[in-house]
Structure 1
């Protein structure tokens, strides 16, 4: 065998034209490639170590064995190499012709460098802008299902930069309830050959922390128009999502507070005179359906607001626009559903984009204060009524003192008569005060006066010597006091001189309501029987004067008294005044 031939071939394999020391000691990957690009003639130690092989072991190796896609010809660009341990690594190749000695085709020299992760998935040239915006880049390869991440994307998702994992592995990081939604969004976009985007929660691959991410992507296609992969960006939107959540919670608390306070919330946009009614209470106040939407300023002033209130409401709006931006105004609106006039109070603030510019919108609240104003009116009326009653009561007491003193035969007699009449007056007022409608039942006044003089049955009713016959009648306060005093005088006289002064005496009281007047006419009859013989009194006492004068003047009643021997009788026709509903505090 000619050893000289082996020496020549060995010289070829040792990269002729390059200094051996430079080739072997270079701190960058170098490879000598056959002219057809299919065979590695020699690989320097640095590249061998990068690929996990022993130095010198790759000389003569076919290219197809070292590339993951089994490409038979080595070409410039980023290529996926297969390491000795079977894993892949992305390397960039820069290929130039080697010095040629004129014999045959020239070999090729390849400079092989590790690929920067950002370079691997570069989708835009302006990388600084992406980083500043908190965006990370990613790439998905259709043939391998591999996902490549930039450094920023790797930090967001918790995976190493570069070729991190297959999509089948990485997609498990998204919450399971979003899988179907995400698949639907991407599939629909691919069918339209359009970009897509979605937001979801994602469990980071390195620490298991859950973050919210926004993902955008677009498909890439090969020369034959088939899908080769997708490229896109990913962003950590956790802070924004949390801020939106907090904002929604604050809005919810505000809605709850305004609902409990029965406040309607609205927003009025000045430029297009459009209003947004934010809660159900606004529609309830105006009597509109939610599907009808809110009303602008023009419709509010011309259709809903009371004509008498329009000038001062317009002035209030103009003042708020020109001055401090705070609007406080009240008025009456016609309820759209019932047609009734309701009183409202409105408060809001005009918002400006800049201090010197016109306001852009008004945000405010509306309260229906109809019930409150009516309650205030009732309170005022009740106070006036109270003053009137106190005045009348004092006048009645004064009359009782004077008349009792003139007819009393002794101090004891004066005291007994005076105290009885004051107690009767007090009881009638107590009944009126306790009743919500400020009325007193006629039956109750009679029972209260008659019970102390006779026995009662086991069921609490009066014994058979007293008969009370008539319907339930509520006496308004205007006539309850004088009629109560009259019943007291009739009872007192019967106990002293009439039917109640003996065990055999009987009293029958009957009443009814007959048509007439504002609320009917009370027809009242007091009949005594089986008592001592009755005769016309020689002089008129206080009781008689009260029956005639008080009932006639204060009640406008027609009173007739009969002193028949078989028993005293009194009949009365008293017009009932109309009940004043405003005095009812529950209305």
Structure 2
């Protein structure tokens, strides 16, 4: 019978003699492969151990059984082998053709080595992926200062691929201020033996065009710990940088617009109930320190929104979620610092990550409309006040006309009395209109009526014959008009019949505020002296009726008049109404 084993040994490569000893003792994996590259003719013990097989058991094994991808022909490079336990292992193959003596068919010898993780990632098979991602590789040698670039890196930086340039030449592509920052960053990373990265502008070496690049790198150290070089990647980030610049400019324009409009910007994320307050105005509106961040929906609704406003705000949010996604709502919030209620208006839109999905966030603006609402309320009150005052003024003018006509002895006396009373009424109204609080100072009403009848000092003050003594009192409009007319009648009577009708007469006016009523009680005293002898009048004129009726009816004042021979006296006590806080421009 023919020895077929001898024939197989002649047709396939094998190890004999000294070579067999070296083959078996080698500390790396060795394999003998047939001429077609499909059969593993022999494998040394080291390779068998790597694959988890007993020595000698891999002889004659088909390649397709040993590779995870079932490839039938063994080729150089990093390949994934199947171990005896079924797990995979990455091994590097270096294959060399070996011609056989005596005309035998040639075979192959494969050197098989384990691959570490870093080498596996830098494998040739991954280079296409790096290029597809826009990444170029580079290496710098510390001893020579030479920079080696991959093809993609050369395209990005404008230098030929390979060992094409020295760092001393390439660094001129960075602007001076950028290079100083980069140098400091890399120097710090080298001291700490850590990777580094930066983004910068760079002038390409080929055409002088400025691009934006992102660079990452890490140091390489020798066995003695000295720096031998650096390796890394580079990518062109010009489009991203330009897009970010456009986005920043848009955001800046938005912030300027919202700042001028005094609008706060917020973004509320529904799933985690977290809010991001995008500008300082939001914190100003709520009076909240920036260190504490924004408010979630729960805290906003349950702690800081006015209890009466919570139901309709909840309904508005629910409606916007279910329908068109647009939210428009107003309410009152408690200011963090002052604890006062502020009125706000809020508008926003619910955004979805994809069509048909539930909204994930609400983006909107908030405006503090407290001042506007208070101004509208003041305007409404002023209009009502104006209507009321016009009505009372017309009634007062009607009374002045009738009473003046009944007491006048001639057309001239009627005209004089009527015009004087109308002027006094007009002045009081002018004072009230000029004051935002709608008040008139009592001292100013007295000075306005008394000054025309006496001489004044050089400084504009009244001469010694008139004494005004009392604190500063602001009379609300409800009492300022009748009290102003009363002062006019007292002054007119004094000029015609009393202390102001002679140069020796004197008038003393004093007032004070005593406790009582809403805002205190005005105690007012008018005393005349050293004028003509006074007697009780035989009939009551318009002035007397005004003092008694108008002050009593419109001001609810108590008035006591005394016609003493030495001079007329009047004492009035009038309760002052409280100011309407809605008319205060400072709140």
Normalising by the smaller structure, the TM-score range is 0.7 to 0.9
Are positions 1:256 and 2:256 aligned together?
A: yes
| Distance verdict in 2 for CA 1:412–1:206, change over 3 Å | same
Q: Gapped runs of 5+ residues in structure 1?
A: 1-94, 103-121
- CA contact 1:446–1:487 (8 Å) conserved in 2: yes
- CA contact 2:221–2:227 (8 Å) conserved in 1: yes
TM-score, with structure 2 as normaliser? 0.73
Offset of 1:578 from its aligned partner? 1.8
Offset of 1:176 from its aligned partner? 1.9
Corresponding residue number in structure 2 for 1:497: 497
Are positions 1:376 and 2:379 aligned together?
A: no
CA distance in 1, matches of 2:362, 2:439: 50
Offset of 1:547 from its aligned partner? 0.9
Offset of 1:155 from its aligned partner? 2.8
Offset of 1:323 from its aligned partner? 1.5
Corresponding residue number in structure 1 for 2:529: 529
- CA contact 1:467–1:509 (8 Å) conserved in 2: yes
SS in 1 for 2:523: strand
Offset of 1:328 from its aligned partner? 0.9
CA distance in 1, matches of 2:471, 2:585: 26
Are positions 1:486 and 2:486 aligned together?
A: yes
SS in 1 for 2:360: strand
Offset of 1:509 from its aligned partner? 1.9
SS in 1 for 2:484: helix
Offset of 1:229 from its aligned partner? 5.7
Corresponding residue number in structure 2 for 1:464: 464
Provide, for residues 522-554 of structure 1, a one-character-per-residue CA deviation record: whole Å limited to 9, x for no partner.
Answer: 222222222222222221111111011011111
Corresponding residue number in structure 2 for 1:15: none
Corresponding residue number in structure 2 for 1:510: 510
- CA contact 1:265–1:366 (8 Å) conserved in 2: yes
Are positions 1:179 and 2:176 aligned together?
A: no
Provide, for residues 389-433 of structure 1, a one-character-per-residue CA deviation record: whole Å limited to 9, x for no partner.
Answer: 111111111110111111112222211111110001001111111
- CA contact 2:287–2:337 (8 Å) conserved in 1: yes
CA distance in 1, matches of 2:453, 2:585: 37
Offset of 1:481 from its aligned partner? 0.7
CA distance in 2, matches of 1:584, 1:482: 23
- CA contact 1:123–1:232 (8 Å) conserved in 2: no
SS in 2 for 1:257: helix
TM-score, with structure 1 as normaliser? 0.73
Provide, for residues 133-152 of structure 1, a one-character-per-residue CA deviation record: whole Å limited to 9, x for no partner.
Answer: 43334344566442222443
Q: Name the count of aligned residue pairs.
A: 473
- CA contact 2:528–2:568 (8 Å) conserved in 1: yes
- CA contact 1:264–1:367 (8 Å) conserved in 2: yes
The two structures, once aligned, show a CA RMSD in angstroms of 3.2
CA distance in 1, matches of 2:197, 2:527: 97
CA distance in 1, matches of 2:430, 2:295: 52
- CA contact 2:531–2:567 (8 Å) conserved in 1: yes
SS in 1 for 2:363: strand
- CA contact 2:335–2:341 (8 Å) conserved in 1: yes
Report 1:530-569 matches (<5 A): 530-569=530-569
Say which is worse superposed, 420-429 or 149-158, in terms of deviation: 149-158
Corresponding residue number in structure 2 for 1:61: none
Corresponding residue number in structure 1 for 2:26: none
Q: Gapped runs of 5+ residues in structure 2?
A: 1-95, 104-121
